[in-house]
């Protein structure tokens, strides 16, 4: 039934499902945030990507990322800053396919690295990215109270 599964750019009508998937994972509903993501990453900017994995008209997962140039002193590279899969459809390769697709899009933009940033205690997503061959980057994230 491969023809029923596809990865494509997110559309306005996908937003409610993306919000629902994100809310189930994080416990927070953020419709305004996702509308903003669609505006900024679902358009024609060739370096920005908001993709959804659709199966029988139902969104099973999403990934958001972009190519950033010379940030943090790094040559242009792809950044993945959001990925989510319906909890009941995990371990079926949805996240892997989404990551592969966005990496292919990054490669088409001629970048050779993909990076992401995660909370240390986000064991599930950390383990996912590790399983995809990602390793610690030569950067250290820092913060302080303001």
- Residues 39-58 within binding reach of other proteins (CB under 8 A): none
Binder among 136, 143, 144, 145 for other proteins (CB under 8 A) = 136
Per-residue tokens: 52: 């959804």
Binder among 133, 144, 145, 146 for other proteins (CB under 8 A) = 133
Rounded to 10 degrees, the C-alpha dihedral 41/77/115/47 comes to 10
Per-residue tokens: 35: 């509308």
Give yes or no for residue 127 binding other proteins (CB under 8 A): yes
Give yes or no for residue 123 binding other proteins (CB under 8 A): yes
How far, in Å, CA of 108 to CA of 58, rounded? 27
Q: Which is nearer to other proteins, 25 or 126 (CB)?
A: 126
């Amino acid at each position: 039934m491969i023809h029923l599964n596809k990865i494509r750019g997110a559309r306005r009508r996908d937003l409610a499902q993306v919000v629902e998937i994100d809310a189930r994972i994080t416990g927070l509903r953020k419709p305004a945030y996702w509308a903003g993501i669609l505006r900024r990453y679902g358009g024609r900017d060739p370096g920005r990507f908001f993709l959804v994995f659709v199966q029988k008209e139902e969104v099973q997962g999403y990934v958001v990322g972009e190519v950033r140039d010379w940030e943090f002193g790094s040559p242009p590279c792809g950044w993945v800053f959001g990925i989510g899969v319906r909890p009941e459809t995990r371990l079926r390769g949805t996240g892997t396919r989404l990551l592969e697709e966005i990496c292919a899009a990054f490669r088409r933009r001629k970048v050779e690295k993909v990076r992401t940033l995660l909370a240390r205690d986000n064991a599930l997503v950390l383990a996912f990215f590790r399983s995809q061959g990602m390793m610690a980057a030569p950067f250290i994230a820092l913060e302080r109270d303001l």
